Structure 1
Amino acid sequence: MHGAVAYLTEHQALKETGICGMNLDMIGEDYALCQANFNLTCSPYSVPGYINDVLINLLGWLEAREFFSPRGSKYRFNFRIKPNSGGSDHVMFNDSYFSIPTPMLGHGDVFHHTNMDTPDKCDPTEMKRIISLALATSIFLANADDEDALKIALEVYAQASLRMMQRTQKSIRLLHQLASHSNTRKDLAELQANIINYPRLQAQIEAANLREVKELCKASTVKIAIYELIKGLDSQVAQESEKIRSMYDLFLQRYNIDKKKFRPNDLYKKA
C-alpha cells in the first residue's frame, strides 16, 4: 500500500479526473495448487460508481465461454463476487479524500506472503482470463461514448433491481426466522421497524451509482434515460416495502403474534 500512497501523493489531480480504478492483487493463480478461486472484491457503497457492475457483466461473459490458454489448465472459471474489504492498495483510492471507486481483483491462496508464494503457482489460463477482464474493462471505460454510457446505465439498473429483490428476500427470511421461534419473537417488532427501511436505503445507494454514469455521456437523451431508470428504482422501493409488510403481517397471523409497534427510546435513537 505504500506504493499507492506515494503514487496518489504525486497525482493529486486524480481527485477530479479519476473515474474508477482496479487493484490487481495476486492474480492468475492455479486453482489446484493454491486452493483459491478468483475474487472480485467490490468497491464500497460510500464511493458510488459503475465499475463493479461492468466487471460483474464481463465475469458472466467469461464464464459462459471456453477461455483457455494453450499452455494452461482446462479448469472452468471459478469466481466469487464479494463485498468491500481492505488489505491492499484499493483502500487508498477508495478513501474519501480521493473517492475513486476501485475494486480488487485477486486470488486469496494458502501461500500468501510465504516463501512458497512463487511464480510456479500461476496458471496461464487463469492469468489470461484476469488480464483480459482488466484490459477489456479499461479499454471500454476509457473510450466510452454516449451509447456505451447508456449500455452501462442499463446494466447498473438491472443489477441494482436484482440486488434490491435479493435484499428483500433476505429480509423476509430473517423476519420468518424470528417469528417462527418463540424465544426470538420479542425482537420481531424492532427488526421489522429497521428492515422496512432497507429498500429505500438500497435504492439510494443504487441511484448514486447510476448518477455516476452521467460523467461518461454528453447527450441529453442519455442523461434523461438515466433519470428515468432512477425513477424506476423509486417505484421498486414501494413494491419491495409492500412485500415486507405483507409477509410480516402473514407471519404474525401464522404464529398468533400480537402486532406491536416498536418505540425506540432516546438512547436507542442516539446510538
Structure 2
Amino acid sequence: MHISQLVDIFTQEISTQSIMDQISQISQYHRIQGSMKFHESAKHIQAILSNNSIFSKIYEYPADGKWEKWGWVSPISWDIKSGECWLMKPVKKRLSRFIDHPMSVITHSKAADFEGTLVDIGKGDKPSDYAKAKGKIALITASPRRIFSYAARHDVKGIILHPDLNRAAQIGDTTVQYDGFWPVNENLSDVTSGFSISHAQARELQNYLRGKKEVKLHFKIDANFSDDKRKLHVLETPFIGSERPLEEIVIIAHLCHPSPGANDNASGSATLLEIALSLNRMIKTGQIAQPKRTLRFLWVPEFSGTIPWLAEYDQQRNTEGRKILSVFNLDMVGESPVKVGTPLTISSPSISTPSFLPGMIRYVSECVKKQKVAKNGWTYQLNYDIQSFAGGSDHLIFNDSYFSIPGVMFGHDDPYHHTSADSIDKVEPLECRSAGVITGVTAYSLATSNSLFLQEILASVFSDIIEEANSLNHRLNKSGELSQAQQLRQKELLAQMSTNRLKSILELDFEGNLKEDIEHFSKLVKLHFNHLIQKNTNSEEKERMENISNQIIIQCNFIGPLPFKRLMDPSRSESNQLRLGSLTKKYWGGLVLELLNLANGKMNVEDIFLLLKIPYPDVMYDDIKYIVNLFIEEKILLSVEN
C-alpha cells in the first residue's frame, strides 16, 4: 500500500459529522485545569471510547499548587458555580454574568460579594500603578497572572480586565477575553476577584470616569479552591504495537480551556478522538493492520498534565526501555478558511533534533491537498504552511533537549483564541478532518514502517532537504547580510543537520533494508552542498572561520524543560523584560527555546546564531548575544571556554 492510498482510506473513514458533534459536546464544559468540569469532559470522552470497546485510563496528578517537577509547579484546583458583575453607579445594569460568558469571571477568582469604586490605572503592569487603587477596583489591560501580587500589596479590592486597543481591533468591540490569576500555594493569599469585560463596556466606564462620575460596581462570585483531594486528570488510550510495543508514537491534544473554546481546543480534542475511533474501526474491519509500534493518544490539561505524565515516562524510559519516537500535537485545528481565513500551520520539530518529520508531513499534506470538496457554493481545499519550530503548546516539552523527541504541532493562528468569540460557528469540520488525516496517516505509517512507506519517506525527506538548501543559498546570495565566511559556515551546519535528518529514518527501519539507500542519498546531499559551498575560500575567510570555531561554548544550567516562570521572571529590570519579552513573543517563544535546545555544551555562540538564522532569517546576532549574556548572568546558561 502506498501512502496516498492510506490517505484515501483515512479520508473516507474519518467522520466530519462525528467531529462536529464532539466539538459541540466538549465546548459546553468549562474545562479549567484541575476543575470538576475538566474531569467531566475527560470522562465524557472516556465513555465514548468505552462504548467502542477501546481501552483507556485516566491518570491522576496533584492539583495543589505545591507539586513540582523541573521547576514546573502544578496549578491549584478551582471550581466556579456562578458570578455576576453589576454597574451600580452612575446607572444600574448588569455588565457580565458567568452563565452568559463563562470566561467573564477571571479564572481563579476568589469568592466575592462586595461593592467597590472603580479607578482606571491604565495598563496596570507596574507595582506603582496600584497605589492609586488602594481599597478600590482597578480597571486594567495587563494579564492578571502577572500583576495580582502587585494588587495585593496595595489592598486592591478587585480587578476589571478589558482588551487593549490592539487586541480589540483583532477580536471585536463586544468580545470578552479569557485570562486567569494562576496562583500557586505560596501566593494563593494574594489572589483577588475579577471580571473580564469587552472593549465597548470598558469605554463606557472610562467615559463615566472622564466625566468625573463615580463608578461603583458590585462583584458576586460563588467559587472555591478545592482541598488536596482534587487532581489533574490525563486521559490515555494506547493501541499497543504488535512487534515493538515499547517504541511509541504519541498523539496529543489539550482538553482544557474555558467554555466554549471551540477551536481552542475542543477541535483538537474531538479530532484526536475521531482518529482513535477511525483507527479502531479500520483495524477491526481489516482495512489496515495492527500497528507494529504503539500509538498512544493523550488528552491533557495543557502543560500542567503533560509535565507529570512525562515525569513518569522519564522514569520508565530508564527502567523499562520505553521510547517515544515522534509526537503529534493537535491544537486549534478547526479554524474555518471562510470565516477566519488563516492556513493550517504545522510547526516543525526543534532543529536540535534533526528529523525526517517535516519532509514526510509535507508529502502526506500534498496528498491531502489534492482532494477537493464542494460545500455550500464554495470548494474546500487544504491550505497549509509548514513553519519553523514554535512554542505555545505541549509539543515544546517533548522537543526540549532533555527529551529530544521530535514533535510537530498542527494549529492555526486564530485571532479569536482565548475569547468568547471562539465559538463553534467558526469551526470547519473539513479542516479538522484534513489535520486528522495528515496526523493519522503519518503516525500510522511510522508505527507500521513497511518498506514501501519507508522508501516514500526517504524520497520525500531528500526532496525537502534539497529544497531547503537551495532556498538558503538563494537567500544568502540575495541578502548579503552575512560575511562570506559566515555563509560558508552556515551551509556546512545545514549540511550536517540535513545528513542527520536522513539518518533519523534508520530508527524506523525494522529490517535494516534502508541503510544502503540512506548512504546513497547522504552522498547526494554532500555533493549538493559541496557545490553550494564552493570551498575556494581565501586566507581572510579561513581566519574568520577559525575565529568562529574558537568562540565561547554554552550549555544549559538546568535539568528538564525550562519553566515559563524563569523565561518571564518579573524580577528582571523593565528594559530586560521588554526586550526579552519581545524576542520571546516571536514564534510563540520558539527562538528562545531553540537557543536553549542548542546550548548543549558542544556548540559555540556564533554557530548557534548561524543555525538559528536558517529557520528564523530575521534574527540578529546582537539579539542572540543579548539573550546569552542575560541567561549567563541569571545562571540559566553556563559558558565554557573552547
Normalised-by-shorter TM-score class: 0.7 to 0.9
Q: Establish whether residue 231 from structure 1 lines up as the match of residue 523 from structure 2.
A: yes
The yes-or-no answer on 1:195 pairing with 2:487 is: yes
* Residues 40 and 103, structure 1, Cα contact 8 Å, conserved in 2: yes
Whether the 8 Å contact between 1:25 and 1:105 is mirrored in structure 2 is: yes
The answer as to whether partners of 2:506 and 2:512 remain within 8 angstroms in 1 is no
Residues 12-36 of structure 1: per-residue CA shift (max 9 Å, x gap): 2468511111111001211232342
State the match for 1:94 in structure 2: 399
The aligned amino acid for 2:455 is: L
Q: Report whether the alignment pairs 1:118 with 2:446.
A: no
2:330 to 20, 24, 27: 24
Task: Tell me the distance in 1 between the aligned counterparts of 2:483 and 2:525.
Answer: 23
Question: Is the helix fraction higher in 1 or 2?
Answer: 1
**Higher mean C-alpha deviation, range 231-240 or range 2-11:** 2-11
1:83 alignment counterpart: 388
CA separation of 1:269 and 1:95: change in aligned 2, threshold 3 A: closer
User: 1:20, 1:49 within 8 Å by CA — same for their partners in 2?
Assistant: no
- SS in structure 2 of the partner of residue 171 of structure 1: helix
Q: Could you give the per-residue CA deviations for residues 108-148 of structure 1, whole angstroms, max 9, x where no partner exists?
A: 11101112222332112111211111111111111112332
* 1:212-231 matched pairs, under 5 angstroms: 212-231=504-523
* Alpha-carbon shift at residue 151 of structure 1 (Å): 2.2
Q: What is the DSSP-based 3-state SS (H/G/I as helix, E as strand, rest coil) of the residue aligned with 1:117?
A: coil
Give how far 1:4 is off. Answer: 1.5
Kindly indicate whether the alpha-carbon contact (under 8 Å) linking 2:329 and 2:407 is maintained by their aligned counterparts in 1: yes
- Counterpart of 1:75 in 2: which secondary structure? strand
2: CA distance, partners of 1:48 / 1:207: 9
Higher radius of gyration, 1 or 2: 2
Match status 1:38 vs 2:340: no
- Find out whether 1:170 has 2:475 as its counterpart: yes
Aligned counterpart in structure 2 of residue 10 of structure 1, from 312, 317, 324? 312
Using the TM superposition, give the Cα deviation of residue 208 of structure 1 relative to its aligned residue in structure 2, in angstroms.
0.9
Q: 1:37 to 1:151 in 2, by over 3 A?
A: closer
Query: Within 2, Cα distance between the matches of 1:96 and 1:14?
Result: 15
Measured after TM superposition, the shift of residue 194 of structure 1 is 0.3
Per mean C-alpha deviation after superposition, the further-off stretch among 15-24 and 223-232 is 15-24
Contact map agreement 1:149 1:214 (CA 8 A) in 2: no
Q: Taking structure 1 as reference, are residues 88 and 47 closer, same or farther at Cα in structure 2, changes over 3 Å only?
A: same
Deviation string 1:139-184 (CA, Å, 9 cap, x unpaired) is: 1111112332232122111111111111111111123xx6xxxxxx
Q: Whole-Å Cα distance in 2 between the matches of residues 161 and 154 of structure 1?
A: 11
Q: CA deviation at 1:75?
A: 3.3
Inter-CA distance 4–193: structure 2 relative to 1 (3 Å threshold):
same
2-side partners of 1:52 and 1:76: how far apart?
Answer: 20
In the other structure, the counterpart of 2:540 is 261
- Please report how far the alpha carbon of residue 223 of structure 1 lies from its aligned counterpart in structure 2 after TM superposition: 0.8
Amino acid at match of 1:2: S
On the 8 A contact 2:345/2:387 being kept in 1, the answer is: yes
CA-to-aligned-CA distance 1:30-85 (integer Å, 9 cap, x gap): 123234221011111101221221111111112222146x6896333222111001
Secondary structure in structure 2 of the residue aligned to 1:49: coil
In the alignment of these two chains, the number of paired residues is 244
For the residue of structure 1 that corresponds to 2:540, the secondary structure is: coil
Q: Aligned residues: percent identity? A: 23
2:366 pairs with 56, 60, 65, which one?
A: 60
Letter in 1 for 2:309: Y
Aligned partners of 1:40, 1:203: CA distance in 2, in Å?
23
Contact 1:38 1:79 (C-alpha < 8 Å) held by counterparts = yes
Distance of 1:245 and 1:169 partners within structure 2: 19
SS in 2 for 1:74: strand
Aligned-partner residue type, residue 125 of structure 1: L
Corresponding residue SS for 1:40: strand
Unaligned runs of 5+ in 2: 1-302, 553-604, 606-642
With over 3 angstroms needed to count, the CA separation of the structure-2 counterparts of 1:62 and 1:216, relative to structure 1, is: same
| C-alpha distance in 2 between matches for 1:237 and 1:122 | 44
Query: Given the two structures, how large is their TM-score scaled by the length of structure 1?
Result: 0.80
1:103 is paired with a residue whose SS is strand
Q: Report the CA distance between 1:203 and its aligned residue.
A: 1.2
User: Which structure's residues are more often strand, by fraction?
Assistant: 2
From 114, 119, 139, the equivalent of 2:444 is 139
**What SS does the corresponding residue of 2:349 show, helix, strand or coil?**
coil
